[in-house]
Amino acid sequence: MIPAPFEYLAPTTVEDALAALAEHGDDAKILGGGQSLLPVLRMRLNAPEMVIDLGKIESIRGIRDDGDAIVIGAMTTHAAVGSDPLVAEHAALVSKAVEHLADAQIRHRGTFGGALAHADPAGDLGAPALALGAQFVIAGPGGTRTVEADDFFVDLFETAIGEDEILTEVRIPKHTGWGAHYEKFVRVAHQWPIVAVAAAVRVEGGVIAEARVGLTNMGNTPLRARGVEAALVGVQATEDAVREAAGKAADGTNPPSDLNGESSYRKHLATVLTRRAVVTAAGG
Amino acid sequence: MDLSHSFTVPTPVDATWAHFQDLGALAECFPGATIGDYDEQNFSGTVKVKLGPIALLYSGSGTFVEKDDQTHRFVVDAKGKDKRGNGTAGAKVTLSMQDADGATDVQVLTDLNVTGKPAQFGRGVMQDVSDKLLGQFVACLEKTLSEGPAEAPAAAGTQSVAGTSAGDEAQGEPAVVAASPAASGGEAPTATGGAAPAAPAAPRPAVSRPAATEDDALDLGAAVIPILVKTYGPQAAIALVIAVLAYLAGRRR
């Protein structure tokens, strides 16, 4: 289907983009890589009068080392993130999640910041970002602010980004030397995950010293499985030992029911996938 | 597809019944809703829905095909259409009320028929659209219906929510959309001038309970019933129209 007519603007600076956003307000939509917005427009589930394309803003594209964190520009494509050696070394969980995110075409068009700002609860980036304690740098009319991952995901498709703001960068604290794995359960390839689990662990002498576990599509936002994280500390990095801790993965969650699975099924999946993710992350 | 839900409101049956006759007042509880023309028999209106990337405008109309003031029962035929022609939906809603020791038990039976175009999201997201919408509607109605002096302190606490509620409780009820259109005109219950309808965090004087009859395996039921359970009155017709379009939209992967 063909989208309703709209005006198009492609500013080259964040300031210009913010100005355009301020001018058009509710009638404007921000275009990142277009992998979620364009289908919405084509379905006519939205018909903004103005589309502001961030694709020409070079300053928010690319990956850099910033001491204790890796900084990923919002307009960096998934493919660029997935092939980046810095990310692989210091934020391996992100590399793993991107590896099987959607399909190759989408990975080359879709953007890291766009997917996070879109905040689809089944999106693959939320859980790793949450698990690694990412910080979201958001530019607005009053300057730039930084939002912690715990505060970023507010609700279904709703983030801390205000109507007049733009996500510019995501800072991911370095987790150098941590094992990581993203375990995703799909019925067909490159489907949205029915449930997925992002796990990063630091193993010392065969024992898990620290663990971070994020859940995808187990609620309206990505979730941290803090109960599992706590239970994993001091546990041998073996399947049997991890199993008990992983059993807590669905505690306190209220996952959706849909054609792909009932809520109870998702809860079960979460425990199984958590076990697999943690064991793999720990190198077991 | 048949859906069944029931709930209890703490007002006597006659008062509840009377409240449901005032379509204009009820519509004010619907964020983004306007009631156009209405009379004893017919009503029309629009509802604006916004969730993340989605912004839709539905227009619809309904007719009271039966209305019995004695038994407190009415039947509404409603149909709706997305402004841009993406789909249509029809719903036949039968609502009945019964006295329950000074409170009112309300029973709603809905027969849904839908056509339209679906959308692609990580899950049946349009159900969540109706979820949010209905959640706000019900919270507002409950507030209106149970209006009284005790309401004031509670109302003060209902504002902050959205945006700050991320905390550790990611799973609660759908948070209220922060920027709902000024919805508290008319018989605005409290003095929170220009305030949005009550957030779901507000105390809930009314008792809601799910009814168990649903003979259809379609996931609309599973996802929407918990909300519909709490839905009130003829505006449910409009709500259901949305729920239904939504359902369709959510099915495609």
A159 touching B (Cβ < 8 Å): no
Residue B239 has pLDDT above 60, yes or no: no
Q: What is the pLDDT of residue A156?
A: 86
> How many CB atoms lie under 10 A from the CB of residue B225?
19
> In angstroms, what is the C-alpha Rg of chain A?
19
User: Which position has the higher pLDDT, A10 or B225?
Assistant: A10
> How many CB atoms lie under 10 A from the CB of residue A87?
22
Distance of CA B15 to the CA centre of its chain: 19
User: Which position has the higher pLDDT, B28 or B202?
Assistant: B28
Q: Say if CB B223 and CB A257 are below 8 A apart.
A: yes
- Report CB contact under 8 Å: A160, B163: yes
Q: How far is A214 from chain B (nearest CA, A)?
A: 13
Considering only CA atoms, which of A189, A55, A43 is closest in space to residue A110?
Answer: A55
Which of A118, A153, A156 to substitute to test the interface with B, most B CBs within 10 Å? A156
A15: Cβ contacts below 8 Å, ≥ 6 apart:
none
- Report CB contact under 8 Å: A158, B219: no
d(CA A65, CA B200): 43
d(CA A167, CA A189): 30
- Report CB contact under 8 Å: B123, A121: yes
> In angstroms, what is the C-alpha Rg of chain B?
17
Average pLDDT, chain A: 95
Range name among A42-51, A138-147, B52-61, B170-179 with the lowest pLDDT average: B170-179
- Report CB contact under 8 Å: A153, B166: yes
A196: Cβ contacts below 8 Å, ≥ 6 apart:
A97, A124, A127, A182, A183, A184, A185, A215, A216, A217, A273
From residue A216, give the alpha-carbon distance in Å to each of A70, A183, A250.
22, 10, 11
Distance of CA A79 to the CA centre of its chain: 14
Distance of CA B26 to the CA centre of its chain: 10
**Out of B54, B122, B170, whose CB is closest to A40?**
B54
- SS3 (DSSP) at B95: strand
- Report CB contact under 8 Å: A256, B162: no
d(CA A172, CA A236): 27
Across the beta sheet with A50-53, the strand order is A7-9, A50-53, A28-31
Please report the beta strands in chain A, taking only residues with DSSP state E, as ranges in sequence order: 7-9, 28-31, 50-53, 63-66, 69-73, 135-140, 143-148, 153-155, 158-159, 166-173, 179-185, 195-204, 207-216, 223-224
Residues 24-53 of A with CB under 8 A from B: 29, 36-37, 39-40, 43-48
Cβ contacts of B170 on chain A, cutoff 8 Å:
153, 219-221, 223
> How many CB atoms lie under 10 A from the CB of residue B66?
10
Buried b (16+ CB within 10 A) or exposed e, A220-249: bbbbbbebbbebbeebebeeebbbebbbbb
Residue A150 has pLDDT above 50, yes or no: yes
Q: What is the pLDDT of residue B50?
A: 72
Residue range A21-31, pLDDT digits in tens: 999 988 899 99
- Report CB contact under 8 Å: B166, A152: yes
Q: Say if CB A127 and CB A196 are below 8 A apart.
A: yes
> How many CB atoms lie under 10 A from the CB of residue B167?
9
Residue range A125-143, pLDDT digits in tens: 999 999 999 999 999 999 9
- Report CB contact under 8 Å: B86, A154: no
- Report CB contact under 8 Å: B53, A118: yes
Contacts 24+ apart (CB under 8 A), A185-193: A185/A269, A185/A273, A187/A260, A189/A103, A190/A100, A190/A102, A190/A103, A190/A106, A191/B253, A192/A120, A192/A122, A192/A123, A192/A217, A192/B121, A192/B122, A192/B123, A192/B253, A193/A122, A193/A124, A193/A217, A193/B122
- Report CB contact under 8 Å: B53, A150: no
Q: Which two tokens stand for residue B179?
A: 């920027």
Nearest chain B Cα to A37, which residue? B53
Residue range A166-215, pLDDT digits in tens: 999 999 999 999 999 999 999 888 888 999 999 999 999 999 999 999 99
Q: What is the pLDDT of residue B170?
A: 34
Cβ contacts of A44 on chain B, cutoff 8 Å:
82, 84, 86
- Report CB contact under 8 Å: A150, B166: yes
B207-225: average pLDDT: 33
Nearest chain B Cα to A222, which residue? B170
> What value, to the nearest 5°, has the Cα angle with vertex A176 and ends A175 and A181?
65
- Report CB contact under 8 Å: A158, B52: yes
How large is the angle between the packed helices A263-281 and A239-246, nearest 10 degrees?
140
> How many CB atoms lie under 10 A from the CB of residue A88?
15
**Out of B119, B127, B132, whose CB is closest to A45?**
B119
Q: How far is A219 from chain B (nearest CA, A)?
A: 6
B18-41: average pLDDT: 74
Nearest chain A Cα to B170, which residue? A221
Q: What is the pLDDT of residue B14?
A: 87
What is the value of ipTM here, to two decimals?
A: 0.73
A164 touching B (Cβ < 8 Å): no
User: Which position has the higher pLDDT, B16 or A209?
Assistant: A209
Residue B69 has pLDDT above 80, yes or no: yes
Most confident of B43-52, B163-172, B238-247: B43-52
Q: What is the pLDDT of residue A134?
A: 98
**Out of B51, B170, B251, whose CB is closest to A219?**
B170
